[in-house]
Structures are given as C-alpha cells and as structure tokens.
C-alpha cells in the first residue's frame, strides 16, 4: 500500500464528524419539505399570534410599556430552542444508530451536532423575527447583547445536559419518550414564556422559582428590554448551578453507559 | 500488523447471565495477511470483526494497529432515505476529513461505479435494493484502506455488476487486505491466509487455512466431502471476465446462491 497519509488528531476527527453531521441534520430536516425553512419561522409566529389574541381579552395586560408581540418572542424562541435541543439530543442515538458503524462517529458527536444546529437556527430565527418586528415599527431595544449571548449559551448547555440525561433514560425506558414530550407542555406554561414573573401572585412564586428556565427567561427579558422589571428573587447563581448540574449528570451518565447505548 | 492483546468480550443474556464470546485473546496478525473469521451462527465472528474495526469496544484488553481499517463493506449507514445518494457519499467523505477536491473525486468514482444514472441525485428511499447496494459498494471501494471488513458480502446486483465488483475486489486485494466473515468456505480458502475459528467461547488462530476449515467443519457437523479446492476462484479470474453480459457463467451463479444462503443464515 502507498504511504499512509498523516494520522488525524482526535480533535480534527471530531471536528469533521460534527461538521458532517451538522450538514446532514440540516439537510434532513429541511430537504424533504418544500416549506421546511418557512415552518421554522411559522412555529414561533403562530405562538405570537395565538397568544396575542388570547391576551387581548385579559383586562390587565400592561407590560411596563413593552410591545406584547416582542415580549412573547423573547420568551418563545428561547423556550423552543431549549425544548428542541433537549428532545433532539434525547433521540440523537436512536435516530443515528446506523451511523455508529463508522468508527469515528460517537453518540457525543450527534449530541454536539444537534445542539449546535438548534442553537444556530434559534439565533437565525430570532434575528429574522425581531428585524421584521422592528421593520413594522415595534420597539426592539436589545439593551444588553453580551448578557443575552451569555444567557443563550446557558440555555443551550442546559438543553444539552437535559437531553443527554433523557437520552440515557429513554434507552432503558423507551416508553418515557412520549411522556417527556407531553411534559414540555406544562413546562411551557410554568416557565414564564407568556407572562412576566412579576405578575405571578406571591404565594405561587416560590414554587415557580424551582424551574431554572424561569430564571433564564426572566434574565433574558431583563437584558433585552429597557424598562422590564426583573423579580428580586431571580438568581443567576441558581441558574448557573442547575446548568452545571444537568451537564455534569448528563455527561457522567452518558460516559458511564456509552457502551450499552451502542449495544445492538 | 494487527495485534489483539488480552481481548475479552461478553454480552449479557436477558436472564442476567453473562456469555463470553472469547476471553483473553492474544493474536498477532502478521503484515499483509488476509484474515478469515469463521464459526457457526452466533459464535461471535461478526463481533470480533467489529472489535477489530473499532466499531465495538471490548470488555477488557485492546487492539493495537497502525492500519487503516474500513467500515463494513456494503454498509448502508451513511445513506439516509430523504437525502440523495450524492449527499450520502459527501457525508462519508466529510467524516474522513477530505478536502473539496478529494470529495469530488470520490463522488465521481461512486457515480461511475454504481451506474445508477439520474437516481444519484434522487432521495435514497426511491432506490431499489439493488441500486442501494451498488451505491454502498461503490462507496466502500472508493476509499483506500489497508483492511476492508467484509461481513457475509456476496456479490450483489445483476450479473454484469457482480463481475465488475468481483474484479474490483480482486484488484483491491492485491494492494490491500481483507478481514472476511463468511460461511462460504471456498471463498475463505480463495482469499485468506489465516483463519480464526470462533467457537464455544474461544477463538483459535489457524495459520494453515485448510486446517482451520477442517476444524470448522467438525464443529459445524459438516461432512468432510465439502472440502474446498484451493485456488478454485483464483485462476479463472480472466475466464470469468470475458463472458460479460447476461451470460455470467456457472461461477457467478453459484456465488449468488452462496451469498443468499449465508444472508439467510445471518438473519436467524
């Protein structure tokens, strides 16, 4: 045999695998539907329209002078991103099982690729929608972009951590898949996506605050709008700690069970 | 060189019991040998192949090699129903970190080899089984490996394609090596320099292929009469080729029969 090309470093291998998977996921997700890319915008917009309609019947809907559609978008896009990352990572091993016959592809690569793809799409979608809203004369302040980037990164990691935990869990308990999907609906209503936390009655607040998503979304709104009132109980520390905990348990469980995940 | 050091692999049965495929295996395959893996169904040949290929991980021990080992030849993993054949080929090129030019070259090779025409740019789910197989074989042969992993790969497709892939395979085996899992002893005898018999929780290396085949036939309870004739497919390589077209000759036909038979075996 002719002289071998130089060996690739693990980093190079992983980089090309993640890149290849990223493109593959992107094409798979949108290639087969004519309106694939359009649907991407349609989903959050549908939430905005429906919620705007419902809340037009609510008597007290003062939002510190914030435009309601912009308010909803700043909640729904991050939430959908979180949900998509967690669910896509959960299904990452099962959906790509045939690919693991290529020795350089490992489950972690599918997790990474899927996470990156959904984060990338969420950024693109929110940019498009917000630019569109500004175009139509709504107030889109973008007060603190750096904090927003940080909070998005936190949310991405949170989704990845949860997704990995769910992936290993559903490997042993495949029936749980449906249940997990259903659980995202109540989570939607309990994460402050459609209402500001300041409007929540005091007695329910402590319960709600156990949900780390509440903290992220609330802080995002605080970083986005000039006049938004972030509740004093919101804790960046709690948010960061839960993210680290989810990531740690996700990675540890995956690492521990990675052979069983791939067993045929 | 491929060296297995203290290789142990087991799997758990549904009743919690552990079954060992082999324990503390220590082999060293010399440079440039074609390796045949034989044994009865479920003995663990394919597992051993997957271990050598780095697809599966052992319980203990390791495999040391400086060789480039392929994915199982003919594997369809890289293709996805909703994507086109071209997308699938590009995907595999990308995971091997190829540059744009290398990728285009591979795509052209697969396109020429598979001969599926316009379907190359259609979603894979619209392919027939034969077309899919053509693409997969083309994809495997497009890459240069030191070792090709072949698990029960018979010839696929119509007679002409069968000849073409056989010819290419023989050509490749001149430059590279194979690790072959097969129940077809004539094929093992024709291609391999050493065989490993996987049987009853152990694996034995036979440097003498005929001896290994004999040992296998004893474990499988096959009467000795079925001894293969060494070199049976080797010499008439040129005599197969001229017969092109529909007239494939008895050898190709027989080959197909063996292939389908062993495929059935593996599914059980």
Instruction: Compute mean pLDDT per 10 residues along chain B, 268 residues long, and list them.
Output: 88 83 85 88 86 87 89 83 91 93 94 91 90 89 90 72 81 86 87 88 86 86 53 37 34 37 35
- Is the Cβ pair B95, A16 closer than 8 Å? yes
Cβ(A73)–Cβ(A126) below 8 Å: yes
Mean pLDDT across A230-238: 93
> Residue A43 has what pLDDT?
85
What letter would DSSP give residue B146? Answer: S
Q: By CA distance, what is B140's nearest residue in A?
A: A102
Is B95 in the A-facing interface, judged by CB distances under 8 Å?
yes
Task: Tell me the nearest-neighbour CA distance from B199 into chain A, angstroms.
Answer: 21
Interface confidence, given as ipTM, is: 0.89
Sign of CA dihedral B83, B85, B87, B92: positive
Exposed/middle/buried for residue B18 (C-beta within 10 Å: 0-12, 13-18, 19+)? exposed
- In degrees, rounded to 5, the angle at the alpha carbon of residue B91 between the alpha carbons of residues B135 and A2 is 80
Contact between B87 and A27 using a beta-carbon 8 Å cutoff? yes
pLDDT tier, A74 (very low <50, low <70, confident <90, very high otherwise): very high
Residue-level pLDDT at B254: 36
What is the C-alpha separation between B88 and B123, in angstroms, rounded? 10
| Closest chain B CA to residue A261 | B56
Q: B69-78: per-residue pLDDT in tens?
A: 999 888 877 8
Tens of pLDDT, residue by residue over B82-112, are: 889 999 999 999 999 999 999 999 999 999 9
- pLDDT exceeds 70 at position A139: yes
Asked if B178 and B191 touch (Cβ cutoff 8 Å), the reply is yes
| CB atoms inside a 10 Å sphere around CB A120 | 14
How much is the pLDDT for A31?
67
CA distances from A216 to A69, A99, A162, B80 (A): 19, 35, 15, 37
Positive or negative torsion for Cα A104, A105, A108, A113: positive
CB contact under 8 A, B144 and A104: no
Q: How many CA atoms lie within 13 A of B4 on its CB side?
A: 26
Nearest CA of chain B to the CA of A2: how many Å? 9
Q: pLDDT of A161-193, one tens digit each?
A: 999 999 999 999 999 999 999 999 999 999 989
Q: Which long-range contacts (CB under 8 A, 24 or more apart) does B25-28 make?
A: B25/B61, B25/B203, B27/B2, B27/B3, B27/B196, B27/B203, B27/B205, B28/B1, B28/B2, B28/B3, B28/B4
Enumerate the residues of chain B whose CB falls inside 8 A of the CB of residue A16: 94-97
Distance set, CA B176 to CA A2, B28, B32, B49, B256 (Å): 10, 18, 8, 17, 24
Full-model pTM: 0.84
pLDDT over 70 (residue A152): yes
- A41-69 pLDDT, tens digit per residue, is 888 889 888 988 888 777 666 677 888 88
Nearest CA in chain A to B74: A101
Determine whether the interchain pair A99/B87 forms a contact, defined as Cβ–Cβ distance below 8 Å.
no
Question: Residue A146 class from Cβ within 10 Å (0-12 exposed, 13-18 middle, 19+ buried)?
Answer: exposed
Six token digits for residue B106:
């591979």
Q: Is A23 in contact with B94 (Cβ distance < 8 A)?
A: yes
- A101 and chain B in contact, CB less than 8 A: yes
User: Minimal Cα–Cα distance from B55 to chain A, Å?
Assistant: 5
Of B11, B55, B76, the CB nearest to A103: B55
pLDDT at A229: 87
Q: Which segment of A122-131, A251-260, B237-246 scores lowest on mean pLDDT?
A: B237-246
The confidence score (pLDDT) of residue B169 equals 80
Smallest CA–CA distance from A2 into chain B, residue? B175
Cα gap A38→A135, rounded to integer Å: 19
pLDDT for position A151:
97
């Amino acid at each position: 045999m002719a002289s071998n090309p130089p060996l690739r470093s693990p980093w190079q291998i992983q980089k090309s695998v993640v890149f290849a998977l990223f493109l593959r996921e992107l094409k798979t997700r949108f290639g087969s539907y004519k309106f694939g890319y359009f649907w991407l915008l349609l989903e959050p917009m549908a939430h905005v329209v429906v919620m705007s309609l419902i809340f037009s019947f609510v008597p007290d809907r003062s939002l510190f002078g914030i435009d309601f559609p912009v308010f909803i978008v700043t909640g729904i896009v991050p939430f959908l991103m979180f949900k998509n990352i967690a669910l896509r990572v959960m299904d990452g091993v099962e959906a790509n099982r045939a690919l693991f016959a290529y020795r350089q592809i490992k489950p972690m690569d599918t997790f990474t690729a899927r996470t990156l793809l959904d984060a990338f799409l969420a950024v693109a979608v929110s940019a498009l929608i917000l630019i569109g809203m500004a175009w139509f004369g709504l107030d889109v302040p973008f007060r603190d972009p750096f904090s927003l980037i940080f909070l998005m990164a936190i949310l991405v990691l949170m989704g990845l951590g949860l997704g990995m935990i769910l992936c290993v869990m559903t490997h042993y308990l495949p029936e749980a898949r449906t249940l997990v999907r259903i659980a995202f609906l109540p989570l939607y209503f309990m994460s402050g996506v459609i209402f500001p936390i300041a409007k929540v009655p005091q007695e329910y607040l402590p319960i709600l605050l156990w949900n780390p998503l509440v903290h992220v979304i609330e802080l995002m709104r605080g970083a986005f709008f000039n006049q938004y009132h972030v509740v004093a109980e919101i804790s960046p520390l709690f948010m960061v700690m839960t993210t680290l905990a989810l990531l740690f348990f996700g990675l540890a469980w995956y690492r521990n069970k990675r052979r069983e995940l791939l067993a045929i | 060189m491929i060296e297995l050091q203290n290789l142990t692999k087991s799997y758990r049965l549904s009743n919690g019991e552990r079954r060992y495929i082999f324990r503390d295996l220590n082999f060293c395959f010399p440079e440039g040998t074609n390796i045949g893996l034989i044994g009865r169904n479920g003995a663990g040949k394919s597992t051993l192949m997957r271990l050598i290929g780095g697809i599966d991980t052992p319980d203990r021990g390791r495999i040391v090699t400086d060789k480039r080992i392929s994915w199982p030849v003919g594997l369809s993993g890289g293709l996805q129903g909703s994507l086109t054949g071209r997308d699938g080929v590009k995907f595999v090129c990308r995971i091997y970190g190829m540059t744009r030019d290398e990728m285009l070259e591979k795509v052209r090779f697969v396109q020429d080899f598979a001969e599926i025409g316009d379907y190359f740019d259609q979603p894979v789910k619209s392919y027939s089984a034969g077309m899919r197989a053509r693409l997969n074989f083309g994809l495997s042969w497009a890459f240069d490996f030191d070792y090709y992993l072949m698990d029960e790969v018979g010839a696929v497709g119509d007679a002409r394609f069968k000849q073409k892939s056989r010819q290419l395979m023989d050509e490749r085996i001149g430059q590279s090596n194979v690790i072959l899992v097969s129940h077809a002893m004539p094929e093992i005898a024709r291609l391999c320099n050493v065989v490993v018999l996987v049987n009853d929780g152990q694996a034995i290396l036979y440097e003498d292929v005929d001896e290994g085949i004999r040992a296998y036939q004893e474990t499988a309870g096959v009467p000795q009469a079925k001894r293969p004739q060494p070199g049976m497919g080797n010499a008439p390589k040129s005599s197969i080729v001229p017969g092109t077209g529909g007239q494939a000759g008895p050898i190709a036909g027989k080959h197909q029969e063996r292939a389908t038979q062993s495929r059935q075996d593996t599914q059980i």
